[in-house]
Amino acid sequence: MNNYQHIDQFAFNSLSIASLCQATCIRSTSTRIVDVQIDSRLCSQGSLFFALKGENTDGFAYIKSVSEKEAAAVVVPTERAQEAMRMCECAILISDDVLGSLHALSRSYLSLFPQLTTVGVTGSCGKSTTKEAIACIAGQLGPTAKTPGNLNSEYGLPLSTFSLEKQSRYGIFEMGIDHVGEMDRMVSILNPNIALLTNIGISHLEKFGSQVIIAQEKAKIFHPELEAGFVSRSCKHLQLIEKYASRTLHRYDTNAVQAVNMGLEGWLVTYGGEPFQIRAVGKHLLEDVVGAIEIGTYLGANPREIAQALEGFTPMQGRSSVHRSDITIIDDSYNASLDSTRSILSYISNLRWNGEKKVVLGPMKELGNQSRFAHRSVANLLARSSFGRAYLYGSEMADAANQLRQLGYADKVSFTENFEELEESVEKQSNRGDLFLLKASRSVGMERLIPGLTEYATRRPLRYA
């Protein structure tokens, strides 16, 4: 059972939940449904499993193992009903569109909370930080549910909605998209009362084709029934987004607050005369927090409540997280877009530091025909930076390595496509007092370097550049 889900509070069984899924129950049991899953590995006693078919796997192949885990029911394609009857002993629901049934269940579940105010957050980066900060503020006003982790796609969003409890007054949900049409489906599920768009970058450009299309698709979060919409003033294609929005949008930027840069300690922020400290490294994270403040103010929070909510606010792991030991590691490995990479590189480059600053960069994925340009742009920025050494990893970084060598950075750059080789190189060249920045797309798992790097550095002498 997932501890973030609360669908069990309504005591559904296979028969009572079938209509909510727009599915047909062909075998029923009285087993109470305790959670909803799309990953068979997460199923346990009482789970409702949706057998979705993806690009690389088919959930139907796992319904027998799910049944053996004493799941309450499985939802399978109608044309495979008889096959499922032979494979499973649990309850069986059939649907012509299994994903559509998951979406229908989420919509039905949301309808059980008429008192709920929902906030949808989208953008190329900064969604999670903004969502977490909004949830902190909303929590001052009433019981609040939020997207757990990064369940923000047309698969993850419906699962996120099951985090709502009977007393929930606010629901803060990420809405991340990586292909055309996905925002339409998520808006049809959540239909948020309030929406915020952080920025437009080139993340997932490979699937979208152009930034204009990305902007058009993300702008769909500002649907006709929206109560209020917010967008960063620095957002690219702002006029296009406002053209596609159903109403006038509230623009926000960091000028809405007074902020003192405290380096790796974050920011000392004053809003409405109320000071508080956030432990968010980089101006891009400060802007995400300001977006949350704007939403919180709209919801009715006063400056004191906002300050109390955000005092000590720390973004989720991997979003410029600071690890302190004999060396200092800034783990920004959760994801990497061109804009976020430029932002954190510039910030750390300008940061005063007694030791040596080093950067480990992995590839920025799914950039399509802009990939080479993006990675070479990073190289150009690095060549002008104060980093003493750069470790580049992954085939996409080959162009960046060559660019750096041409720019006279040859003695400070290393490149490999082998992670073990990267790990060995980084560890052997680390020294106490170093500052390391780790940045890459999520699929790289760059945070794997942290334990070994930290341990190895403790055995090295303290050295200042």
Residue 119, domain CATH? 3.40.1190.10
Q: Taking residues 34-54, what's their average pLDDT?
A: 96
Paired sense of beta strands 258-261 and 267-271, if any: antiparallel
Nearest to 456 by CA among 329, 331, 322, 321: 329
Instruction: State both tokens at 303.
Output: 């400056």
- The CATH number of the domain holding residue 387 is 3.90.190.20
At 135, is the secondary structure helix, strand, or coil? helix
Q: Yes or no: say if 281 and 292 are a contact pair by the CB < 8 Å rule.
A: no
Q: Taking residues 120-143, what's their average pLDDT?
A: 95
- Any domain includes 465: no
- Any domain includes 103: no
| Rounded Cα distance, 441 and 439, in Å | 7
Same domain, 278 and 334: no
Q: Yes or no: say if 75 and 23 are a contact pair by the CB < 8 Å rule.
A: yes
For tokens 């550095």, what's the residue? 457
Same domain, 346 and 200: no
- Any domain includes 1: no
Same domain, 158 and 294: yes
Same domain, 446 and 326: yes
Residue 158 class from Cβ within 10 Å (0-12 exposed, 13-18 middle, 19+ buried)? Answer: buried
pLDDT class of 284 with cuts at 50, 70, 90: confident
Task: Compute the mean pLDDT over every residue in the chain, rounded to the nearest whole number.
Answer: 92
Query: Which has more confidence, 62 or 210?
Result: 62
pLDDT for position 464: 47
Same domain, 334 and 234: no
Nearest to 464 by CA among 329, 357, 331: 357
Instruction: State both tokens at 397.
Output: 């970084």
Same domain, 267 and 150: yes
At 389, is the secondary structure helix, strand, or coil? strand
Same domain, 82 and 145: no
Question: Is the model's pLDDT at 368 over the cut of 80?
Answer: no
User: Domain span at residue 30?
Assistant: 7-97
Question: Is the model's pLDDT at 90 over the cut of 80?
Answer: yes
% of the chain residues with pLDDT over 90: 73
